[in-house]
Amino acid sequence: MKLILTVVLIGLSSLFVQQKSAKLPNKRPSNFEFEYKTDGGMINSHSKLKISKDNCFYSQKDKGVETNKKIDFSDEQLDKFYQLLKENKFDKITSDRKEGVYDRGGITMSVLWDKNEIVVSNAQRDFVKDKWKKNWGNIVDSVKSIIKNRSN
C-alpha cells in the first residue's frame, strides 16, 4: 500500500512540476488554447472566454441570466494574441497564496498545448505578485477588448 501511495505522489508531483515549468514555445502551437475565467466570489456571476483555432466563444452568467456568443479568430489574429502572451511573459507570471482570504472573486487564465498547461490566477487566495502586475494587466486589458469588440 505504501508503495502505491508513493508512486501516486511521485506521479502527481511530476505533473505539478511539468505544469509549473512549462514555457511558451516561440511560435504558436497548432493546438494552442487560451481560457480566461472570471469568478464573482460570493456574487452569482462568472464568465469564460475560450480562444483556440477551432472554437472561440464567450459565455457569461450574471444574476441567473446566461449569455453565449461565438467569436471568429483568423490564424493571424491568433498569432497576434499569442505574441501578446509571449511579450508579457505569461509563462513567468506568478502569484502568492494568502491565508484567511475566502470567496474572493477574480480572474484565472490558462494556456494549453500538447500536454502542457500554464495556469495563472488572481482569484480566491491567489494574488499576482507585484512584479508581474503590469504584464498581467496588459493581458487582461487585451482580453477585455476582445470581449467588448468581438462578442457582439
pTM metric for this prediction: 0.81
Flag whether 138 is in a domain: yes
1 is a domain residue: no
Among residues 128, 121, 123, 122, which one has the least CA distance to residue 103?
Answer: 123
Q: Read off the pLDDT of residues 61-112 as tens digits, 9 standing for 90 and up.
A: 888 889 999 998 899 999 999 999 999 999 999 999 998 888 888 999 999 9
Q: pLDDT digits over 25-72, tens only?
A: 999 999 999 999 998 777 777 899 999 999 999 999 888 889 999 998
pLDDT of residue 16: 40
Task: Residue 113: give its domain's CATH number.
Answer: 3.30.1560.10
Q: What total of structural domains would you count in the chain?
A: 1
Buried b vs exposed e over 87-101: b needs ≥16 C-beta within 10 Å? Answer: ebebbebebeeeeee
Beta-bridged to residue 57, according to DSSP, are: 50, 70
Question: Sorting pLDDT into bands at 50, 70 and 90, what band is 149?
Answer: confident
> In whole angstroms, what is the distance from residue 24 CA to residue 147 CA?
23
CA angle 15–120–61, rounded 5-degree value: 115
Length reported for the chain:
152
Is 73 among the domain residues?
A: yes
DSSP notation for 72-114: ---HHHHHHHHHHHHHTTGGG--EEE-TT--S--EEEEEEEET
Segments forming the whole domain that contains residue 141 = 23-150
